[in-house]
Amino acid sequence: MTIRFMPIILAVACVGCLNLQQRTPEEATMTSLRNAYQNLRFPKSEYGGQAQRPAWWLCRPEEIADICLGVKKGRCEVIGQTTAGFPLFAVFYGQFDDGGPRQSSWAASSSSDAYECYYGKPEKQTIVWATGFHGAEPEGVVATLNMIQLLETGKDLRGRSYPKLLELAPQFRIIFLPCVNMDGRAISQDHLQGTDKVTFRKACQGEWLDGQPIEWRESKRYFPLPLERVRHPGGYPNADGFNIMHDATPGNIRTPEARAMLALIERYAADFFFNGHSCEGKPFMIMPSEINYQVHVERGLELADAVNARLVEADLRSGMPKKAATRTINFNNLVSLTSGGLAMSNELNSWADSFDDMIEPNFIIMEVILESALKKPLADRAALVR
Ligand SMILES: [Zn+2]
């Protein structure tokens, strides 16, 4: 029996091989994305997101893949795989011909007499724009996909144009990482508009087995979150329970997501790293951490203040946050150590009145940052080493 059927089995297997060989890289990426769902321990949560999302509100892993793989003016690269096996997409705009190993690292060269041995002499500043660190916060992801569409076609997915941004963007090298935490995104809802505080907590930081929400600060008592003790982990962590935002222990980076980002930041000597988030409050730019170069703290304070003033002006928030450095230790601290770049985070408002208002602040932030960068470098390496 076994022998008689073997040729048939072999023939079927060979057709399978042929199919595999004929697949385009895009098809292979989509297959790995679909397969990653099988590695998830938890299903997509049912918290919130009841209101119909607009057609332009793209935030599911396959929608992220569609936009990234479809770029023509930009270049899409899969820079790594998440814990569950989702592809990590990066979309590049500008000339990136410095992919080879550098002569030195930032750490070494900044202590030498020539930091250019690492940094080189780039004509344009390099921006890494990363969103979706926390999977239950889709706003940044949606905003980034809209920005990519804007750079591709002159209009975002809503048909809006941002002439100022279109004029500024080509004066920089920009790398978009639309969704850092694809694992968390895959098990999160499309949005949290209209949810109550408890539901919001459960969707974001998770829910213990007894149904109690895991509070925001409480979630950080664990690294990783003990997944066997939760009913649902929310969209905060990756599939192993790690909060990528705090994967910042030198020499012991736990997540493939953080490792892939750090490699990218070092390889292209990022000048500025945008770290995108959302919360239930009004949008704002978070003040920089004081655990950094003094020059970066001052530049960060100045930028955060300028962004927040513009958000007030646009009626997206009332009142200015206090202009004082935080003491947070998170992924941003590693950016300065890796490339000498300045890293900053923001919060969008998941409870904003309209879907437009949920993403609008990121367009403002991008414009303020780029405009300011043309007047004064975002990370002035010469000033850092002086
Ligand atoms: Zn967040």
Domains of the chain, start order:
48-385 (3.40.630.10)
SS3 call for 330: coil
Tell how far the Cα of 370 is from the centroid of ligand 1, in angstroms: 23
Kindly report the CA angle at 83 between 193 and 80, in degrees rounded to 5?
100
In angstroms, the CA 339 to CA 268 distance is 8
Residue 245 CA, ligand 1 centroid: distance in Å: 8
Q: Which pLDDT tens digit goes with each residue over 175-231?
A: 999 999 999 999 999 999 999 999 999 999 999 999 999 999 999 999 999 999 999
Cα-to-centroid distance, 25 and ligand 1 (Å): 31
Full-prediction pTM beyond 0.85?
yes
> For residues 363 and 292, is the Cβ–Cβ distance under 8 A?
no
Separation of 137 CA from ligand 1 center, angstroms?
A: 6
Phi, psi of 20 (to 5 degrees): -60, -45
Task: Give me ligand 1 centre to Cα 55, in Å.
Answer: 24
pLDDT band at 98 (very low <50, low <70, confident <90, very high): confident
pLDDT of residue 17 exceeding 60, the answer is no
Distance from residue 275's CA to the centre of ligand 1 (Å): 9
